[in-house]
Amino acid sequence: MISRPSLIFIVLIFSFFLMGAGSSHHDSSLPTDLKTIVLLSIALVIFLVLSAFFSGSETALVSVNKVKINQLAASGNKRAKLVKRLIESPEKMLGMTLVGTNLMNVITTEIVLLLVIAVLGEFTSIGKIIGKLPLNDALIATLITTLLVLIFGEILPKTIFRAKAEKLALRYAYFLRFSEAILSLIVIGVTWITNIFMKSLAGSHQQESEDVQRDELRLLATMGEQSGLIERNQRRMIHSVLDLQQQTVERIMVPLVKIVAVPQNTDIETFMKIASESGFSRIPVYDGRIDNIIGIINLLDVIYAEDGTQTVRSLVGRDIQFVPESKSTSILLKELQKSRNTMVFVVDEYGGIIGLVTVEDLIEEIVGEFADERDTDLNIQQIDSKTLECEGRTEIETMNELFLGLQIPSGNYETIAGYILSQTGTIPEQGAQIETNQLIISVEKVNRRSIQKVVIRQKFGNLLHRNV
């Protein structure tokens, strides 16, 4: 008994044989009765429909909602399982649909040529009219085939299958599987040749693919916020998660100059005072210089220390972790989950400590800022509808997010003071002003080392506070 794949293969070979026989009679005695025209017309419709099917299926499988298909497949839907298997192997899927589309188009072209010859031979009046024009059979067939394939084999099916991707992909899942079996040998060959060329581009192709997926997810989150499906904070959280892998610890670390630390010979009373004033429960301890960290001391260890303990040296926990400034924040977060450390120190290429990062810093990169033992009130005050007053250490990103209409330029700095210093090149005097296209930034209070207070005035429009 002949299997279904073998039967289809025989039919295709037979079709090619008939077309070859027809082509050999182009210049001699091709039968041109109405029966031949009808049979060729039926064949044309069949192969044009198959061309449309393969073309539309490609669009459907690319556009299908993968999450929905995975859910259906997990629930036991057999059609969904077939579709899932196809979309999980894009090389084979595209190979099958493209081979099918092009094969049907080649056959369609031959049928149209035979049909044109048959029509012109049967209806001599039409043949005489065509004969007066600078056209031949092949050119007429090419024009007709182009229009038919473009409209009915490409534009129309792709539009329909894209609009109903899941429904049509599931409906024709078994036929797609059957087509894959029929065309398997050709598809395997095409896929093998494609993979040879792709191997040399594998690294760049993979990175590009990851970037595209990340950008697509970011765009979907933005569109979701605009359409009201998700809230602004949810959109920000999604963006933060997507950016976490590309972000380094250097960007989120607390710089060395801002670290609150104590020398190892600090007495208990002094330590308790520093802890109370700073609000920290865990404080680094150093030996000699602040960049020579030897451990971390926990406030609870000091509180429960035995009577007679004079300094913090004996209470220092020496299990500290160092990470390079170039380490990805997403990798660091995974490492801290395993090690259960809550604080790590960041080192530069020479091994010198340049800052520290806590678990809280990493979490804030995802969920946003929240008040804690280290954060202090930045005293951001809106004086009127156009004017703000803030501390120099206020982050530009925070200001731009808090107030609609505020557009402080970004660059190789993070704070308002950093922006001013990038423009002046030195610590400005009190009363100094910097103007942008939309803002006037005035320095209200400075000391010898830093800008402490700044007033920002909007030239045009009002500053509206976001309720976040």
Looking at residue 21, what is its pLDDT? 45
What is the structure's pLDDT at 99?
Answer: 87
Query: Distance between CA 256 and CA 321 in Å, rounded?
Result: 16
Q: Give the chain's residues under pLDDT 70.
A: 1-33, 121-137, 198-214, 306-309, 318, 368-379, 404, 464-468
Check residue 345 and give its pLDDT: 92
The alpha carbon of 76 is separated from its chain's Cα centroid by a whole number of angstroms, namely 30
Q: Decide if 273 contacts 262 (C-beta within 8 A).
A: no
Q: pLDDT tens digit string along 333-383?
A: 888 888 888 889 999 888 889 999 988 888 877 776 554 544 444 567 888
What is the predicted pLDDT for the residue at 160?
Answer: 92
Tally Cβ neighbours within 10 Å of residue 170.
21
C-beta contacts of 21-28 below 8 A and 24+ residues apart: 22/110, 22/114, 23/110, 23/113, 23/114, 26/117, 26/137
**397: nearest Cα among 211, 256, 239:** 239
Looking from the CA of 402 toward its CB, the CA atoms found within 13 Å total 15
Query: Going by C-beta distance under 8 Å and a sequence separation of 6 or more, which residues neighbour residue 127?
Result: 120, 121
Per-residue confidence (pLDDT) for residue 247, from 0 to 100: 81
pLDDT at 211: 53
Q: Report how far apart, in Å, the C-alpha atoms of 154 and of each of 165, 172, 265, 431 are.
A: 15, 18, 80, 68
